[in-house]
């Protein structure tokens, strides 16, 4: 009698198959063999539309957006154009009138607040700090974090000097005694320590000087996936890709592409560099 088991060339270890073995297995089952499909984007928006009232012009209209793991996207546009609204939509804090937002293929509308919090961390410009210790504030989104990890997060975003001035992680902090920039630094360190792989900074560095803002943004870009609602044009120049909101029009691409197709982007870049904008 012939022994039964795995056919020659097929190796089974636990629940995994080698790549060559997967091809053998798929062929034997009559399934087509080909490259594996690409993973779903970390964050995707399809046909995203939102207006604040039935007679209001949409703040966001028919937006298509795909953000892959490790991407660094900046969102720019005039004040009041809808950048913070877009951040709230992408985070699942408000529901769109049309379209969908998905995290790794999962509809954000079907995810619980806890599940959303595992996927993204939103940092608004307010820089919320509560009465308690420095440690409690920084570890709020990761209560199990060791002091070494908390200290490293503070150092990464440039808040280590502030932590030292306050008296260390065990020192009491009173929010009213802090400046707007100091509150933002503590909030940045808290968000950096969050286990969520995607960070959305909604003008979260607007009270920092340009050098401190650059340090924080670069730290978050190295940390994982980053979306920055830009306060200064320099944030757009640091990003790999830029989304320009301009009324009913949204264009996106790298800096070189946008220099050629977006007058608003050229104007913003010129403002940041102090040179006149080129005209097409």
- Residues 110-142, buried b or exposed e (16+ Cβ, 10 A)? ebeeeebbebbbbbbbebebeeebbbbbbbbeb
Domain boundaries, the chain: 43-273
Q: What percent of the chain has pLDDT over 70?
A: 83
Which pLDDT score is estimated for 247? Answer: 75
Which pLDDT score is estimated for 39? Answer: 83
- Report residue 272's pLDDT band, with 50, 70 and 90 as the boundaries: low
pLDDT above 70 for 17: no
Question: Which tens digits make up the pLDDT trace of 76-134?
Answer: 998 889 999 999 999 999 999 999 999 999 999 999 999 999 999 999 999 999 999 99
Instruction: Calculate mean pLDDT across residues 15-27.
Output: 39
Question: Comparing C-alpha atoms, which of 52, 187, 49 is closest to residue 122?
Answer: 187
- Report residue 37's pLDDT band, with 50, 70 and 90 as the boundaries: low
CATH code that applies to domain 43-273: 3.40.50.300
- Report residue 11's pLDDT band, with 50, 70 and 90 as the boundaries: very low
> Which stretches does DSSP call E strand in the chain?
12-13, 16-17, 43-50, 60-67, 72-76, 98-103, 106-107, 120-123, 132-133, 172-173, 198-202, 225-229, 241-246, 249-253
Instruction: Calculate mean pLDDT across residues 187-213.
Output: 97
| 183 within 8 A of 128, measured Cβ to Cβ | yes
pLDDT above 60 for 266: yes
Round the average pLDDT of the chain to a whole number and report it.
87
Instruction: Calculate mean pLDDT across residues 32-44.
Output: 75
Q: Where are the alpha helices (DSSP H) in 111-179?
A: 113-119, 134-138, 147-157, 160-166
Q: Tell me the C-alpha distance between 225 and 191, whole Å.
A: 13
């Amino acid at each position: 009698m012939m022994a039964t088991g795995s056919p020659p060339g097929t190796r089974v270890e636990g629940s995994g198959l080698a790549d060559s073995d997967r091809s053998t297995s798929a062929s034997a089952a009559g399934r087509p063999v080909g490259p594996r499909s690409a993973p779903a984007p970390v964050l995707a928006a399809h046909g995203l539309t939102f207006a604040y009232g039935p007679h209001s012009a949409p703040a966001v209209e028919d937006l298509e957006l795909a953000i892959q793991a490790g991407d660094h996207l900046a969102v720019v546009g005039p004040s009041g154009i809808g950048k913070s609204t877009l951040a709230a939509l992408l985070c699942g804090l408000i529901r769109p009138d049309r379209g969908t937002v998905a995290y790794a293929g999962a509809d954000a509308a079907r995810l619980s607040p806890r599940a959303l919090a595992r996927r993204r961390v939103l940092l608004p410009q307010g820089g919320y700090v509560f009465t308690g210790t420095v440690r409690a504030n920084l570890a709020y989104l990761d209560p199990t974090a060791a002091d070494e990890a908390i200290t490293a997060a503070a150092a990464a975003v440039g808040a280590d000097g502030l932590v030292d001035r306050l008296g260390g992680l065990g020192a009491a902090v009173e929010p009213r005694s802090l400046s707007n920039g100091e509150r933002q630094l503590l909030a940045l360190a808290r968000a950096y320590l969050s286990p969520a792989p995607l960070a959305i900074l909604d003008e979260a560095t607007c009270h920092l000087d340009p050098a401190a803002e650059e340090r924080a943004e670069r730290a978050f870009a190295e940390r994982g996936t980053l979306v920055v609602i830009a306060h200064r044009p320099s944030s757009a120049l640091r990003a790999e890709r830029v989304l320009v909101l301009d009324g009913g029009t949204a264009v996106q691409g790298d800096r070189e592409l946008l220099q050629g197709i977006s007058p608003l982007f050229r104007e913003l870049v010129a403002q940041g560099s102090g040179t006149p904008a080129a005209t097409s």
